[in-house]
Amino acid sequence: MFSTSDESAYAYDIIELRFLSPIAFYTDFPTFASYNTEVDPMLNNSTNSYTDSFKVAIFLYKWRKTLLVLGLSAAILSALFSSPIFIAPLYRSTVILYPASSNSVSKSLLNENTSAKQDILEYGVDEQTEQMLQILNSNRVRDRVISKFKLADHYGIHPGERYYQTRLYTQFNSNITFKRTEFMAVEISVLDKDPQMAADMADEIAVLLDSVKNDMQKERAMKGFKIVEAEYLSQQQQIAVMEDSLTRLRKLGVQDYESQVEMMNRQLAMEIAKGNTRGIHALEEKLKVLAIYGGPYVSIRDALVNEKKQLSYIKARYEEAKMDAYEEIPQKFIVENAYKAERKAYPIIWIIVVISTLGALLAGMLVIYIVERSPAFLLKIRQTES
């Protein structure tokens, strides 16, 4: 074992040799950490950490010029290749909106039992937000935006190219995104090299949301309206036929069966008491008419009352279906409209420069370390030192 003075002298000699010749130190001399381990195993972890940091410091100092040139080169090249000369800057415009809670005009305005969820002024909840996002991501919105703004030409994608549609849709999805915000609203975000076009597209998508959703609802509402309309017209026609039948019966003398029978029976009794044969005969003829047509009259009259009640109910449904089929209300509340961006959103040059520089330095250090540890390099260093 060494004495304390011998240990200090030995450590000093090792550090001095390490500064003078790092490669020789790595290959020919024991480390101070291994010596300390033999002296006191409890110092193993702290000593290893110290020697590792020391090795890194020596390595960086030794190759400082190479790494400096490498880092500067990476920074300059990344700044150059991320400039507008090589990458067209993109500008971002956004629209923030909330969905409406009610989808039916008639239920919002005509229904007496309108709940809070059907209130025309109520904001939508999670369900409506998810529906809105699904509609925004549909091909109905995408294809209309592509067609209106001629995005194929704008993106430089020609119909004759291979995978034309796939490339166009991929570019659209990368530049135009929809997401839910932390406050449960929906954000429409558009990136484009033309800031005004980005703002116009964002606003147009918000408009298309109403159009597409109303069109989808009208497809169903119109079919429902046609069904109710047919039933309403059929009911009207049936009532008209019944009223026409009653009119004919009235012309035959059946005006009000119950009151007529009661009155004629009373009059017949009076004529019989008087012995008026002619009056008795006339009343009997009228009673025969009532006997023949009185039953159909009563049946048609009572049925007509029920049919008119049914017509009133169907008419209410008819008016609601007609309003849903032909009237439109906004399906959203716009919180923030898009505006022309003044600063680009992509690329962010300083982030690219920092990442590229750090990546180049790490890659350079790795390559230098591998080369430095290779047998050919170690042999060359030894030959140079000898």
Instruction: Decide if pLDDT at 229 tops 60.
Output: yes
Q: pLDDT at position 113, please?
A: 57
Residue 338 belongs to a domain: no
Domain with 267 in it: 224-326
70 touches 360 (CB < 8 A):
yes
Q: pLDDT at position 272, please?
A: 81
> Which one is predicted more confidently, 315 or 386?
315
Q: Is the peptide bond before 347 cis (omega within 30 degrees of 0)?
A: yes
Query: Both 210 and 232 in a single domain?
Result: no
Residue 335 belongs to a domain: no
Query: Both 247 and 318 in a single domain?
Result: yes
Q: pLDDT at position 102, please?
A: 64
Instruction: Decide if pLDDT at 109 tops 80.
Output: no
Query: Both 261 and 182 in a single domain?
Result: no
Which of 219, 234, 258 corresponds to the end of one domain? 219
Q: pLDDT at position 332, please?
A: 85
Query: Both 97 and 77 in a single domain?
Result: no
d(CA 284, CA 261): 11
Query: Both 125 and 161 in a single domain?
Result: yes
Number of domains in the chain: 3
Q: pLDDT at position 11, please?
A: 40
Query: Both 230 and 316 in a single domain?
Result: yes
| pLDDT level of residue 17 (50, 70, 90 thresholds) | very low
Which of 291, 326, 361 corresponds to the end of one domain? 326
Residue 43 belongs to a domain: yes
Q: pLDDT at position 385, please?
A: 58
248: which residues sit within 8 A by CB, 6+ positions away?
none
pTM score above 0.75: no
Q: pLDDT at position 64, please?
A: 80
pLDDT in tens, 23-42: 443 444 344 344 444 444 44
Query: Both 125 and 175 in a single domain?
Result: yes
Report the chain's mean pLDDT, rounded to a whole number: 77
Residue 251 belongs to a domain: yes
Query: Both 56 and 103 in a single domain?
Result: no
Which of 219, 241, 263 corresponds to the end of one domain? 219
Instruction: Decide if pLDDT at 200 tops 50.
Output: yes
Residue 112 belongs to a domain: yes
267: which residues sit within 8 A by CB, 6+ positions away?
279, 283
Query: Both 206 and 234 in a single domain?
Result: no
Query: Both 189 and 99 in a single domain?
Result: yes
Q: What is the CATH number of the domain that holds 147?
A: 3.30.1890
| pLDDT level of residue 122 (50, 70, 90 thresholds) | low
Instruction: Decide if pLDDT at 91 tops 80.
Output: yes
Query: Both 32 and 54 in a single domain?
Result: yes
Query: Both 119 and 191 in a single domain?
Result: yes
